[in-house]
Amino acid sequence: MERSRITRGLGISVLFALFVGVVGGWVLSRSPDDTDANPGLPTPGIPVNTYITGEPFPFVELRTPGGDPVTISTGELRPMVVNFWFSTCEPCKREMPAFAAASLEYEGRINFVGINPNDSGERATAFMEDMGVNYPNYLDDGDQLAAAKVATMPTTFFLAADGTIVERSSGEVTAAELAALLAELAGG
């Protein structure tokens, strides 16, 4: 008799926990029906890069690998490529040789800048040296990611000489894609 009561109590507890879990999960996973309730705010889910082509690139203060503050800009009135990357990002590793080669090919005509939100200055510098990258790279504490609305890595911005975003690429850029984008950015 005592054992039957314990078994019944345990069964009721398990059913109650299951009910709470299912109902709680359902309530937490529901999105509001009114998708215009918060215009301009992203809806919860998998992060995606926001489309901001045609807008000025939002330059913010970054740090050199040595820790000094710096704000980049298109001050030389040249087009610019801004690549967000980090050393353990496999697509970043695969595309980096193409960026290193392109920066040499377009030297003096298109500026290249790397922005790293993950690594230490030492790790970022060692990675850039291993990849043969000679263009400036800076560290970001998240402010540039937020300002540029970057959610995935790698992400690359192609800027006109006045700092306007001409193109944005989310994910790995192949050498062929990079060559086509740079030819267009350089004006032919």
Q: Would you state the pLDDT for residue 158?
A: 97
Retrieve residue 23's tokens: 């109902």
Q: Would you state the pLDDT for residue 134?
A: 94
Q: What's the rounded mean pLDDT across residues 92-119?
A: 96
Please, which residues bridge with residue 84 across strands?
A: 115, 155
Retrieve residue 73's tokens: 């800009």
Whether the pLDDT of residue 93 is over 90: the answer is yes
Residue 122 is assigned to a structural domain of this protein:
yes
Q: Would you state the pLDDT for residue 43?
A: 43
Q: What's the rounded mean pLDDT across residues 90-113?
A: 96
Residues 97, 132 contacting (CB under 8 angstroms): yes
Query: String of b and e for 75-104 (b: at least 16 CB within 10 Å)?
Result: eeebbbbbbbbbbebeebbebbebbbebbe
Band (51; pLDDT cuts 50, 70, 90): low
Band (54; pLDDT cuts 50, 70, 90): confident
Residue 139 is assigned to a structural domain of this protein:
yes
Closest to 169 (Cα-Cα) out of 180, 158, 156: 156
Residues 182, 156 contacting (CB under 8 angstroms): no
Residue 38 is assigned to a structural domain of this protein:
no
Residue 17 is assigned to a structural domain of this protein:
no
Q: Provide the CB-side half-sphere exposure for 131 (13 A, CA).
A: 27
Whether the pLDDT of residue 131 is over 50: the answer is yes
Closest to 81 (Cα-Cα) out of 158, 188, 160: 158
Residue 14 is assigned to a structural domain of this protein:
no
Q: What's the rounded mean pLDDT across residues 164-176?
A: 95
d(CA 2, CA 6): 6
Q: How many domains does the chain have?
A: 1
The CATH number of residue 101's host domain is 3.40.30.10
Compute CA distances 40 → 43, 101, 115, whole Å. 9, 38, 26
Whether the pLDDT of residue 41 is over 60: the answer is no
Lowest mean pLDDT segment, chosen from 1-5, 21-25, 142-146: 21-25
Read off the pLDDT of residues 179-188 as tens digits, 9 standing for 90 and up.
Answer: 999 999 998 5
Enclosing domain of residue 82: 61-185
Strands in 165-170's sheet, in edge-to-edge order, are: 69-71, 61-63, 137-139, 111-116, 80-84, 155-159, 165-170
